[in-house]
Copies of this chain bind each other. A is one copy, B any other.
């Protein structure tokens, strides 16, 4: 069993290629735009901590550009990434006054940071805002529930295929090419696998002709039908 320090050290955060691709600013539709008006824009370098586990929960955040991982560490260094937040996603909801996960930028990232006190004060007067808060939270819940099915009942190939299709849909470049902002370690910790298994599975999907890998961070979805079947 690796020591915590060693385990964490072996997944050191590596510098990422500066990638202009992740800066397409937030779309101005849906409840998110209501929120964006209530806070200030803050920027983070890659791998910066936005908040830590158990930190007092003062703010709620909306991603404008870049990507954020929401994660939890176990005592021995095992890590679970609960979600990747892409532009338009909201994170930082808490029922108690403390964050139960940490949030870190995956790459250079801009967010809108909104004071919870302001948000809730407004929500008590503004039924539309209150409903927006609720439906954003339900959307989060649905994402978590889908992820439960992936982690509980899908094999490695299905997990990776599901991940690729999901990221492609959410990053919403109409094309078949996806740019992954996150490392293999991040993907592994999101899918409940190891980096080796993620890597092997991607290679296998490429051999099957389901995807192409022009570079390690670029994935072309060649056979969406095959991928969707693995997604079932």
Contacts and interface: CB of A to CB of B under 8 A. Distances in A.
A39 to B, nearest CB: 17
Nearest to A5: B95
Question: Is the contact region of chain A dominated by helix, strand, or loop, or is it mixed?
Answer: helix
Contacts of A120: 1, 131
Interface size class of A (residues with CB under 8 A): 35 or more
A96 B141 contact: no
Interface string A82-96: 100000000001111
A8 B79 CA distance: 28
B142 A95 contact: yes
Given A95-B135, A130-B134, 6 more contacts: A5-B95, A5-B96, A74-B153, A80-B148, A82-B149, A124-B131
A11 to B, nearest CB: 13
Contacts of A94: 138
Contacts of A72: 145, 149
30 contacts: A1-B97, A1-B120, A3-B96, A5-B95, A6-B96, A72-B149, A74-B153, A76-B232, A78-B153, A79-B153, A80-B149, A82-B145, A93-B141, A94-B138, A100-B142, A101-B145, A124-B127, A124-B130, A127-B127, A130-B130, A130-B134, A133-B134, A137-B137, A137-B138, A137-B141, A140-B141, A144-B145, A148-B151, A151-B152, A152-B191
A210 interface: no
A82 B147 CA distance: 10
A1 B130 CA distance: 15
Nearest to A141: B141
A171 to B, nearest CB: 21
A232 B75 CA distance: 7
A38 interface: no
Given A75-B232, A141-B137, A145-B101, A4 B95 contact: yes
